[in-house]
Structure 1
């Protein structure tokens, strides 16, 4: 069994919706974040990825661990898993798509079918916590 794909994600909720992104050429939405580069901590990965993808700066002092979720990786061979470690954080700047990001959207639970398998687990968890609107 291959090692899971190691990803770090930012959970940013507003009015019962969660910030999500779609990359160029993709048909699913993904929570913002990305893969760790060699030697990076969770914090370093998240700060770098969010700055690259959304042109905002996360406040390192506000990072709060939310949870770790594992599910089959979208678009990969069967048996490949993604492990998503999620954090909440405040930010400064204006959210706008950059790098590989084609669009930024706000999703509620009714959009669950439009996100990756691991994001679906996160949507379920957030909805169970009363944080994600129907």
Structure 2
């Protein structure tokens, strides 16, 4: 089975990682999602973040953080997510919209609230010194 190909926005404020809870989901995810056919990383992530949080990412500050692979939550057994993680500044005011019920900033101690790929992204952010 092929990995789910997803992109994620890693946003850290005051030592906490921005996460979202999608409608009907028990765990928290990073803002982002699946690419549509033909989309590059920037196009996919900026579209997903606009749909989920109503803000515009800043292209000039868009930077790759790394790619993680982890079990995909709420998917058939043996399905994994390949998640390309990026940082970027943004314009606008963050607000839950679309399929997102809420957004939360979580500390590393709250990792038990995260889906597996989001836990791996939290570790990646820590490796890059964005969280401690």
Q: For the superposition of Structure 1 and Structure 2, which TM-score range results when normalised by the shorter chain?
A: over 0.9
CA RMSD of aligned residues (A): 1.0
Count of residue pairs the alignment pairs up: 132
Once residues 126 and 112 of structure 2 are traced to their aligned partners in structure 1, the CA distance between those partners, rounded to angstroms, is 14
Runs of 4+ in 1 over 4 A off after TM superposition: none
Can you give the 5+ residue segments of structure 2 that lack an aligned partner in the other structure?
none
Output one character per residue of 1:59-78: Cα deviation in whole Å (capped at 9) or x when no partner.
11110000000011001122
Q: Secondary structure at the match of 2:98?
A: coil
Match of 1:34 in 2: 33
- Residue 14 of structure 1 and its aligned partner are, at CA, apart by 0.8
Q: TM-score, normalised by structure 2?
A: 0.96
State the secondary structure of the residue aligned to 1:51. helix
The CA deviation string for residues 16-51 of structure 1, in whole angstroms up to 9 with x for no partner, is 111100011110000000100000000000110111
119-128 vs 40-49, which moves further: 119-128
1:77 counterpart SS class:
coil
Larger deviation: 117-126 or 52-61? Answer: 117-126
- More divergent stretch after superposition (121-130 vs 88-97): 121-130
Stretches of structure 1 lacking an aligned partner (at least 5 in a row): none
